[in-house]
Amino acid sequence: MSKILLIQPSFEPGLTVPNLNSTMPLGLIYIGTVLKHNGHQIKIFDRNLNPSDQELLNLIRKNYDFIGISSYTSRMLYDAIKVSKMAKENSNSIVVWGSYHATSVPENTLKNEYVDYIVRGEGEETFLNMVNLHEKGKSFSNLNGVNLNPAAPAIDMDKLPFPDYDLVEVKKYPNFYISTSRGCPYRCSFCYNSYGPNCMQPYKEFSFNKSVELIRNLSSKYKKRTFTIVDDNFPSNRERLKLMSREMRNMDIKFDICCRANYCDMETLSYLKKAGCWQIQIGVESGSQRVLNFLKKGTTVKMNADAINNCHKIGIMTHASFMIGIPTETIEELNETLRFVKNNKPDLGGAGIFQPFPRTKLWDYCMERGIIKEPKTTEEWAGLYPTGYNKVNMKVSDIPNETLMQYHHNLNKMINKGRNLKKIFLYLKSRRMPDYRRVISILKPRI
């Protein structure tokens, strides 16, 4: 049996008090479950809930065989580096990075002196194979999916055990996250689904039976009635949705999802509504058809408008997401986005300032034109994304920063007009448990 510590770094650098709005580290739950099923001892430590360095140090000193760390390309990397440094300086543990940053920037991540290995792509099988080989005293450097080796074969989701949420402190998270599918059938040029061959995966899902059982088990075990389904496009498979809807309508649950406008036809929405869906986050992105084409979004302005209107008709709340400051976008096209919001009135939403993520098609576009420069170290990567989408972090648009910020302000104001009252109403409508952390999170602007 090996001892493994899995760490979710803090999303905010220098966090000193627990973030009451922390989100469940589902990736670590999935990996931890598979390792636990194979007889290993697992501890998941979420720095967003427990930012105390001393507490972490005490754990690190227990000399785990492996310390696995998640990485998003964001300022979260500052804490990922800090945690890895603490691990290397205070234990003999093997430090392994996984998740989106390690997957999309592998060479650079491996140059970091505090990272021993990386796992690219889905972590369950690769990490398990690593741990098992190490336990037998064998080398795992040649395993597929490890470091720069060829990608590991895609996982059959139905063969995965049910995720063991007891690995985290469920009660400390205001919201319950569920994943029933991975990947997306589309390849928008700004999204992680447009990465190169090592990372891009075809869409796959839990079967209808497994998805329903997962939701049923979780709601009865944890007495939860509300969930967020984190799938990129939960309704991608309409047949599965239809079957799920039949089963879920009697479960008395509420959930919110993300999806593209083309899944918001009345028939699909009726299945969603019956199943208990109360809010859909729609990636509208822009009110300009030229910009949508540039983003390879595969949607039309009309499709987006119809999606919002259909949701209004059927009584599902719309949370519309927009991006501004996209390369080649003009002021007139920003005005088209403003007009879209004015005409279609999504219930809630946000407009964020675009920043390209590594290895996406738009990242390559900006690199080829010299608009951005590839960072040289993990610290530099962290520094490239100092905030969320509410500031101009990277200058990739020809529109002056002040003008972009003005549009950002106006758009968000227009989208969220009367938001607080509306949000309280939504909160009640979704019948979420009156958890004060959830209320705070709902009242905070979300971009």
Q: What are the residues binding ligand B12 (CB under 6 A)?
A: 8, 11, 23-28, 30-31, 68-70, 72-76, 96, 98-101, 104, 119, 122-124, 127, 179, 191-192, 230, 232, 357-358, 388-389
Closest distance between ligand B12 and the C-beta of residue 73, in Å? Answer: 4
User: Considering CB distances under 5 to 8 angstroms, the limit depending on partner class, which of ligand B12, ligand SF4, none binds residue 188?
Assistant: ligand SF4
**Burial class of residue 142 (count of CB atoms within 10 Å of its CB; 0-12, 13-18, 19+):** exposed
Closest distance between ligand SF4 and the C-beta of residue 191, in Å? Answer: 3
Closest distance between ligand B12 and the C-beta of residue 77, in Å? Answer: 8
Nearest to ligand SF4 of 212, 351 (CB atom): 351
**Identity of residue 389:** Y
Phi/psi for 228 (5° steps) reads: -115, 125
Determine contact, residues 236/205, Cβ cutoff 8 Å. yes
Q: How far apart are CA 193 and CA 186, in angstroms?
A: 7
User: Considering CB distances under 5 to 8 angstroms, the limit depending on partner class, which of ligand B12, ligand SF4, none binds residue 70?
Assistant: ligand B12
Stretch that binds ligand SF4, among 55-63, 134-142, 188-196, 361-369 (CB under 6 A): 188-196
- Token output for 18: 């627990």
Closest distance between ligand B12 and the C-beta of residue 342, in Å? Answer: 26
Closest distance between ligand B12 and the C-beta of residue 191, in Å? Answer: 5
Stretch that binds ligand SF4, among 13-21, 181-189, 307-315, 323-331 (CB under 6 A): 181-189
Measured in whole angstroms, how far is the alpha carbon of residue 150 from the centre of its chain? 24
Q: Which of 98, 106, 174, 283 binds ligand SF4 (CB under 6 A)?
A: 283
**Burial call 169-199: b when 16+ CB within 10 Å, e when fewer:** eeebbbbbbbbbbbbbebebbbbbbbbeebb
- Token output for 407: 């549009």
User: Considering CB distances under 5 to 8 angstroms, the limit depending on partner class, which of ligand B12, ligand SF4, none binds residue 275?
Assistant: none
Closest distance between ligand B12 and the C-beta of residue 239, in Å? Answer: 21
Closest distance between ligand SF4 and the C-beta of residue 260, in Å? Answer: 5
- Helix, strand, coil percentages in the chain from 3-state DSSP, rounded to 5: 45, 15, 40
User: Considering CB distances under 5 to 8 angstroms, the limit depending on partner class, which of ligand SF4, ligand B12, none binds residue 186?
Assistant: ligand SF4
Q: How far apart are CA 267 and CA 310, in angstroms?
A: 10
Q: How far apart are CA 334 and CA 329, in angstroms?
A: 7
**Identity of residue 401:** N
Considering only residues 197 to 236 of the shown chain, the ones binding ligand SF4 according to CB under 6 A are 232-233
Which stretches of 191-316 are assigned E, i.e. beta strand?
A: 204-205, 226-229, 254-259, 277-285
User: Considering CB distances under 5 to 8 angstroms, the limit depending on partner class, which of ligand SF4, ligand B12, none binds residue 260?
Assistant: ligand SF4
Residues engaged in binding ligand SF4 (CB under 6 A): 184, 186-188, 191, 193, 232-233, 260, 283
